[in-house]
């Protein structure tokens, strides 16, 4: 379904896990600032609406969308967060630079999702013109920042559940004797 057939800001509030204990990082590109600020506001408000305290939301700015990769990587390395949202707006110019920036950011953020344990949500508009960006950052098609915040909550919850099930599996295996960990082993569970 294309964006023009859905509102990016609409979501079923009953389907959203409780997010009050999650911490979120948001890395925001300064290129096309009027658009990225609108996307950030959509994301920030959606997190607040789902009980995330503002003090649990960390914002960093980077020069452009290509720097979202490094910014997200350093946030993951230095901050205790349950998900990161990267926000950018790339608009077609006169040259092929658009293609390289879009492809580079897409692949870079994909790589972070593969290589690290914390989900990184892709909130980067890749538009033909500024009107398309306006329409998707609080305009007629809603706000992609809102969509990204909801995705971040859902992915943080999936990460939390996966971690808990892994721990339960270990406990079950230990209690059943199927898994034996030598004393002093780095795998030894500390109570
Ligand atoms: N043209 C756009 C850019 N270009 C800048 C790059 O993202 C990058 O900052 C530069 O190449 C230095 O590494 N960035 C956007 O976010 N949006 C654009 O439309
Ligand atoms: C995505 C870009 O870097 C692009 O907007 C820059 O414009 P131009 O291709 O005209 O240099």
Q: Could you tell me if the CB of 62 is within 6 A of ligand 1?
A: no
Q: Could you tell me if the CB of 129 is within 6 A of ligand 2?
A: no
| Ligand 1 centroid from CA 90, angstroms | 7
ipTM: 0.97
Which of the given ranges, 2-6, 55-59, 163-167, 186-190, has the highest pLDDT on average? Answer: 55-59
CB 24 within 8 A of CB 58: yes
pLDDT in tens, 42-90: 999 999 999 999 999 999 999 999 999 999 999 999 999 999 999 999 9
Whether domain 18-176 has CATH 3.40.50.960: the reply is yes
pTM value is 0.89
Is residue 97 annotated as a catalytic residue, yes or no? yes
- C-alpha 141/C-alpha 157 separation (Å) is 27
User: How many other CB atoms are found less than 10 A from the CB of residue 8?
Assistant: 22
Strands 120-127 and 142-143: unpaired
Domain ranges of the chain: 18-176
Ligand 2, atom 1, residue with closest C-alpha = 98
pLDDT band for 183, please (50, 70, 90 cuts). confident
Give the pLDDT of residue 36: 98
| Ligand 1 centroid from CA 101, angstroms | 7
């Amino acid at each position: 379904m294309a964006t023009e057939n859905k509102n990016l800001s609409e979501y079923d509030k009953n389907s959203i896990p409780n997010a009050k204990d999650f911490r979120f990082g948001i890395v925001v590109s300064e290129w096309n600032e009027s658009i990225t600020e609108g996307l950030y506001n959509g994301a920030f408000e959606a997190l607040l609406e789902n009980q995330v305290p503002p003090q649990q939301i960390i914002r960093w700015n980077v020069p452009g969308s290509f720097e979202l990769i490094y910014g997200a990587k350093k946030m993951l390395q230095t901050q205790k967060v349950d998900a990161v949202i990267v926000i950018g707006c790339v608009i077609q110019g006169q040259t092929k630079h658009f293609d390289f920036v879009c492809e580079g950011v897409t692949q870079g953020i994909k790589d972070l999702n593969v290589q690290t344990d914390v989900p990184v949500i892709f909130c980067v508009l890749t538009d033909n013109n500024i009107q398309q960006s306006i329409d998707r950052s609080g305009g007629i098609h809603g706000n992609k920042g809102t969509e990204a915040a909801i995705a971040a909550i859902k992915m943080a919850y999936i990460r939390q559940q996966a971690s808990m099930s892994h721990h339960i599996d270990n406990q079950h295996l230990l209690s059943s004797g199927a898994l034996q960990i030598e004393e002093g082993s780095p795998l030894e569970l500390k109570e």
